[in-house]
Chains A and B, each alone.
Chain A
Amino acid sequence: MPLAFLGVFFAWPVLAIVRLGVRDGGVGGVLAAAGTWELVGFTLGQAAASTVLALLAGLPVAFLLARCEVVGTGFVRAAVMVPFVLPTVVVGLAFRALWPDGGVLPIVLANAFFNVAVVARTVGGLWAHTDRRAEDAARALGASRPRAFRSVVLPALLPAIGSAASVVFLFCATSFGVVLVLGGARYRTLETEIYLRTVELFDLSGAAALSLLQFAAVLAVLLLGGLARRRRETALSLRGNAEVVRRPTGGEWGVVGVAFAVVLTLLVPVVGLLVRSLSTVDGWSLAGYRALAGTGERGTLAVSGVDAALNSVRAATDATLLALSIGVFSAVVLVGLRRGRTPRGVGEVLDTALMLPLGVSAVTVGFGYLVTMDALPGDLRTSPALVPLAQALVVTPLVVRIVLPVLRAVDERLRQAAATLGASPWRVWREVDLPLAGRSLLAAAGFGYVVALGEFGATSFLARPDSPTLPIVIARLMSRPGQLNSQMAYAACALLMVATVAAVLLIERLRVPSGGEF
Chain B
Amino acid sequence: MSLLLDGVDVRYGDVAAVSGVDLTVADGEVVALLGPSGCGKSTMLRAVAGLERPSAGSVRWDDEDLAGVPVHRRGFGLVFQDGQLFPHRDVAGNVAFGMRMHGVEAEARHKRVAELLELVGLGGYQKRKVTELSGGEQQRVALARALAPRPRLLLLDEPLSALDRALREQLAVDLARLLREAGATALVVTHDHDEAFTLADRVAVMRAGRIRQVGPPTDVWRSPVDVDTAKFLGCNRILPADAALDLLGVTVPGRVGLRSTALRVDAAGPLEGVVLERVHRRDHVRLLVAVRDEELEAVAPIAEPPALGDRVRLSVDPDGLAVLPG
Contact = CB atoms under 8 A, between A and B. Distances in A.
Interface string A57-91: 00000000000000000000000000000000000
Contact of A416 (B51, B73, B145): B51
B32 to A, nearest CB: 19
Contact count band on B: 20 to 34
6 contacts: A417-B84, A419-B70, A420-B49, A420-B76, A420-B146, A435-B88
Contact of B97 (A411, A416, A418, A424): A418
B86 A422 contact: no
A413 B77 CA distance: 13
Interface string B36-62: 000000000000011100000000000
B20 interface: no
A417 B80 contact: yes
Contacts of B70: 419, 424
A436 B87 contact: yes
B98 interface: yes
Contact of B71 (A416, A432, A436): A416
Contacts of A413: 80, 84
A198 B51 CA distance: 56
Contact of A422 (B87, B101, B155): B101
A421 B149 CA distance: 7
B42 to A, nearest CB: 11
A422 B78 CA distance: 11
Nearest to B53: A341
B111 interface: no
What are the 3 A-B residue pairs with the smallest beta carbon separation, nearest first?
A421-B98, A422-B101, A420-B78
Contacts of B86: 414, 417-418, 431-432
Interface in B66-90: 70-78, 80, 84, 86-88
A290 interface: no
A304 B71 CA distance: 60
Contact of A417 (B75, B78, B88): B78
A109 interface: no
DSSP class of A's interface residues: helix, strand, loop or mixed? helix
B282 interface: no
A419 B71 CA distance: 6
Given A416-B51, A416-B71, A416-B78, A421 B101 contact: yes
B72 A436 contact: no
B78 A424 contact: no
Interface in A394-438: 411, 413-414, 416-425, 427-428, 431-432, 435-436
A427 B98 CA distance: 12
A431 B80 contact: no
A241 to B, nearest CB: 13
A424 B101 CA distance: 9
A423 B100 CA distance: 9
Given A419-B71, A420-B49, A422-B149, A427 B77 contact: no
B77 A436 contact: no
A421 B87 CA distance: 16
Contacts of A432: 86
B78 A423 contact: no
B260 to A, nearest CB: 36
B97 A421 contact: yes
Contacts of A411: 84
B102 interface: yes
A422 B84 contact: no
Given A416-B78, A417-B80, A422 B88 contact: no
A270 to B, nearest CB: 37
Contact of B75 (A422, A423, A436): A422
Interface in A43-69: none
Contacts of A436: 87-88
Contacts of B72: 419-425, 427-428
**Could you say which of B51, B102, B155 has the most chain A C-beta atoms within 10 Å of its C-beta?**
B51
Contacts of A414: 84, 86
B78 A431 contact: no
Given A420-B72, A420-B146, 20 more contacts: A413-B80, A417-B80, A417-B84, A417-B86, A418-B86, A418-B97, A419-B51, A420-B76, A420-B77, A421-B72, A421-B101, A421-B145, A421-B146, A422-B72, A422-B101, A424-B72, A427-B101, A431-B86, A435-B88, A436-B88
A421 B142 CA distance: 11
B146 to A, nearest CB: 8
A137 B299 CA distance: 40
